Amino acid sequence: MSAVTLGLPRASPSIVDLIGSTPLIRLSSFETGLRNVELWAKAEWRNPGGSVKDRPAARMILEGEQSGALTRDTILLDATSGNTGIAYAMIGAARGHRVRLCVPSNVTPERKRILRAFGADVVFTDPMEGSDGAIVRAKAMYEAEPSVYFYPDQYNNDGNWRSHYDTTAPEVFEQTNGRVTHFVAGLGTSGTFVGTGRRLREFKASIRLISVQPDSPLHGLEGLKHMETAIVPGIYDPTLADEDIGVGTEEAFELTRELAHQGLFVGISSGANLAGALRVAREASDAVIVVVFCDGGEKYLSERFWDESADGGRQ
């Protein structure tokens, strides 16, 4: 099987129509020493907003419009660590909606600038409280003025995981010609893992589903949650994973740098997900492993870990 042929860009009447149908990319250089294992990355940074979060954001916005909860007179409000907020802001700008986002103040400057470029109103929250602090603030704002806001609440909205159930999973299954044996994704809202995993298991009962999260409460893996100590999303299904892998920040940083040196400029959570996939790959044989690369590295350029020397080898 070869990588998906990109071909000519497809013509679309709206930015929303460009979301999805992202390619798989073979990670051949990481397969050395494995026992007939193929590693493939789902290139979610190819979405127009630059991340996997375009999928659920579009689903929740369109469902809000259809229900009448999101109109020109209401403001879309939600908590985000960055990527969903960027997707909300992009789609909101395209469809004429005002967007207000609660965001931890320590997110990267690049994310802050992108949000402002799309015209979003940003409410910064305590960096020490992480995404949980943003969730608490957004909920309080909505409860104080429910008539003012459309509050999709990405952490508890079934449209989040269903967007992946309906799109990401069928893409993965088709792109691997049904040969996928393992699926690896990180846990933030958990929508990508839950939605894709549920549908893949319907397609193929033998598939193994592996979730990835930080290995401690104090971590630098932006967008991922340490579930034991965080506000657990209502859409999270802890019974779904066959295996849950904790990844350290430094290991994720190292792999993110190594991927860039190989031409794949991706974000920190992609490095974390790859770390989990490699642990699975070293124990597997005759396997086709698909791992989600959530976003691109351009949103993290101000992070100092890029300046650290990388030895070009895996630890």
Distance CA 9, CA 17 (A): 12
- Regarding whether 294 and 212 lie in a shared domain, the answer is yes
Do 170 and 36 share a domain, yes or no?
A: yes
Do 108 and 30 reside in the same domain of the chain?
no
Residues classed as catalytic? 53, 269
Mean pLDDT of 299-306: 90
What is the domain count for the chain?
2
In a domain, residue 4? The reply is no
What are the tens digits of pLDDT across the range 283-293?
999 999 999 99
Residue 161, in any domain of the structure: no
Residues 122, 191 share a domain:
no
* HSE (side-chain half, CA atoms, 13 Å) at 262: 19
Question: Is 313 within a domain?
Answer: no
Specify if 3 maps to a domain.
Answer: no
Same domain, 80 and 182: no
Q: Look up residue 89 and give its two tokens.
A: 């802001």
Shared domain check, 189 and 146 = no
Mean pLDDT of 32-37: 96
Q: Are residues 113 and 235 in the same domain?
A: no
CATH number of residue 203's parent domain: 3.40.50.1100
Cα separation, 148 vs 150, whole angstroms: 7
Co-location of 143 and 197 in the same domain: no
Note whether residue 285 is domain-resident.
yes
Q: Is residue 8 part of a domain?
A: no
Q: Answer whether residue 314 is part of any domain.
A: no
pLDDT above 70 (res 6): no
Domain membership flag for residue 160: no
Are residue 140 and residue 179 in the same domain, yes or no?
A: no
Give per-residue pLDDT as tens, 222-277: 889 999 999 999 999 999 999 999 999 999 999 999 999 999 999 999 999 999 99
pLDDT at 158: 98
Q: Are residues 135 and 170 in the same domain?
A: no
Quick count: other Cβ atoms within 10 Å of Cβ 19? 23
Domain's final residue, options 120, 150, 180:
150
Q: What are phi and psi of 78, to 5 degrees?
A: -160, 165
* 103 shares a domain with 30: no
Domain holding 138, by residue range, is: 54-150
Claim to verify: residue 31 and residue 79 sit in the same structural domain: no
Reduced 3-state DSSP string for 224-279: CCCCCCCCCCCCCCCCCCCEEEEECHHHHHHHHHHHHHCCCCECHHHHHHHHHHHH
Banded model confidence at residue 11, pLDDT cuts 50, 70, 90: low
Give the predicted TM-score (pTM) of the model. 0.92
